[in-house]
Amino acid sequence: MVKPEDPIEEAADDSLDLYDIATWEVRSNTDRVASVLWWLLAGSARVVIILIALILLLAVGGLAALTDPQTGILTALSAIPAVGLAVYVSLTDITETEPISLLVATFLLGVLTANFAAVLNTVLRPYFVGLGFISSIIFFFVVVGPIEESVKLLAVRLYAYSDDRFDSVLDGAVYGAMAGLGFAVIENALYIARQLPNSGLDIGLGLIGAGGGITAVRALAGPGHVIYSAIAGYYLGLAKFNPGQRGPIIMKGILLAAVIHAMYNATVGVGSGLIASVTGFSGIIPYLIYVISYDSVFGLMLFIKIRRYCNSYQRVHSTDREAEISPDESDVTQ
């Protein structure tokens, strides 16, 4: 986006000092104080959000779940598919390798901001009762999808988005995937902590057997979070480089991710039941088939979007390299 210019700046040459007339930079002590105060105010908003998220994490028992050895092991096992998918999205970044510090920070912020969704979903759920299955469908589309995808995008926006190393559209998908991974990890930990039998089993095969069912179910749910937030994150990256249309672009990403997310929540039970009735399979198998099929469709959508970006990147850079070759150099290469 081209920087707008005052009529004086537009007409003046470089010899005219326009400081405090039509341009501005930090020069005086007052300028320095104003800059520091602005930095503190802008930074404090992020700190307040993170502190509130940390308090909520403690309130819902997330920290206890993550630090409990039994729950921690099962959570780690349940996160393996989501980790693999997030790593894959990171490896597709054709521009440059993202710094570990930003990836880890976004993951941790995904863990923290997930607690906003946990609280809001719980508070708003009683308002969506009375119509049975229809109430649940409305709840998924109006509350769960939009809120969960928004808080995952918030995890990216709080830190990575404003960093200079977030320097391509595709970075949005990478950091969106990491935020989705953080969300999936804390969600899995809370589910497992609440449903793991209080059997007093030692860490080992007995523990794996006791928590195997819920761990397998959460392992299947994790990749969806990565896919949805990677799609929304891609549009966040697109918005960064199109500031004039930033709001509508971000909204498009959230809408797409929220609808895909809500559709999964609304159809997974019915879809698994239909598969069970048609195939005769029982237990977790119909659920496994449905989730893999659903995630494959929208994972392919994400893959195509990433592929289009990578192909365009290679095309323009190969053109640039060809343009840099002089006629003589071209003859030599032939």
Q: How does pLDDT run across 15-39, given as a tens digit for each residue?
A: 888 888 778 889 899 989 998 888 8
Please answer whether residues 256 and 231 qualify as being in contact, where contact means their C-beta atoms are separated by less than 8 angstroms: yes
140 CB contacts (<8 Å, ≥6 apart)? Answer: 261, 262, 265, 266
C-alpha to C-alpha distance for 235 and 230, rounded to whole angstroms:
9
Q: Average per-residue pLDDT in the chain?
A: 86
Kindly tell me if the per-residue pLDDT of 74 is higher than 90: no
Structure confidence at residue 6 as a pLDDT band (50, 70, 90)? confident
On the CB side of 245, CA atoms within 13 Å amount to: 9
Distances in whole angstroms, Cα of residue 96 to Cα of each of 107, 134, 166, 317? 19, 46, 10, 14
Please answer whether residues 171 and 95 qualify as being in contact, where contact means their C-beta atoms are separated by less than 8 angstroms: yes
Beta bridge partners of 23: 19
Burial (Cβ within 10 Å: 0-12, 13-18, ≥19) of residue 27: exposed
Kindly tell me if the per-residue pLDDT of 123 is higher than 90: yes
Please answer whether residues 19 and 27 qualify as being in contact, where contact means their C-beta atoms are separated by less than 8 angstroms: yes
Q: What percent of the chain has pLDDT over 70?
A: 88
Kindly tell me if the per-residue pLDDT of 204 is higher than 50: no
Q: Note the pLDDT of residue 202.
A: 47
Q: How does pLDDT run across 86-122, given as a tens digit for each residue?
A: 999 999 888 888 999 999 999 999 999 999 999 999 9
C-alpha to C-alpha distance for 239 and 157, rounded to whole angstroms:
12
C-alpha to C-alpha distance for 214 and 231, rounded to whole angstroms:
27
Q: One-letter amino acid identity for 53? A: A
Kindly tell me if the per-residue pLDDT of 128 is higher than 60: yes
Q: Note the pLDDT of residue 208.
A: 39
Kindly tell me if the per-residue pLDDT of 283 is higher than 90: no
Read out DSSP for 102-153?
A: HHHHHHHHHHHHHHHHHHHHHHHGGGS-SSTHHHHHHHIIIIIHHHHHHHHH
**Single pTM value for the model:** 0.83
Read out DSSP for 205-241?
A: HHHHHHHHHHHHHHHHHHHHHHHHHHHHHHHHHHHHT
Structure tokens at 134: 């229809």
C-alpha to C-alpha distance for 232 and 238, rounded to whole angstroms:
10
Q: Note the pLDDT of residue 211.
A: 44
Kindly report the CA angle at 221 between 219 and 224, in degrees rounded to 5?
120
